[in-house]
């Protein structure tokens, strides 16, 4: 019998259509977390980093965070 870990609680992503996209691998921050921060008022990568820690370490994700901020403003 297979063990029921955290993945089994969320269901099979292929069936549910729920996929997590990690933006910041240093801190394990997902796109959904960054979008939530921008909706709460974080309008720069620095403010997103203060709210979520995404982009606070190595900075490789800052360009992607900027794209998310722009896309959130447009929607």
Confidence (pLDDT) at 18? 65
Confidence (pLDDT) at 9? 45
Burial class (CB in 10 A: 0-12, 13-18, 19+), 8: exposed
In the 8-state DSSP scheme, what is residue 75? Answer: -
Confidence (pLDDT) at 2? 46
pLDDT digits (tens, 9 = 90+) for 1-57: 444 444 444 455 555 566 789 999 999 999 999 999 999 999 999 999 999 999 999
Q: What is the DSSP string of 11-63?
A: --HHHH-----EEETTTTEEHHHHHHHHHTT--SHHHHHHHH-TTSSS-TTHH
Measured CA to CA, the distance from residue 15 to residue 17 in angstroms comes to 6
């Amino acid at each position: 019998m297979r063990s029921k870990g955290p993945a089994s609680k969320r269901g099979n992503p292929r069936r549910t259509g729920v996929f997590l996209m990690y933006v910041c691998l240093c801190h394990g921050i997902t796109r959904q977390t960054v979008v939530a921060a921008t909706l709460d008022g974080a309008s720069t990568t620095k403010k997103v980093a203060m709210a979520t820690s995404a982009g606070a370490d190595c900075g490789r994700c800052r360009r992607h965070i900027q794209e998310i901020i722009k896309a959130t403003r447009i929607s």
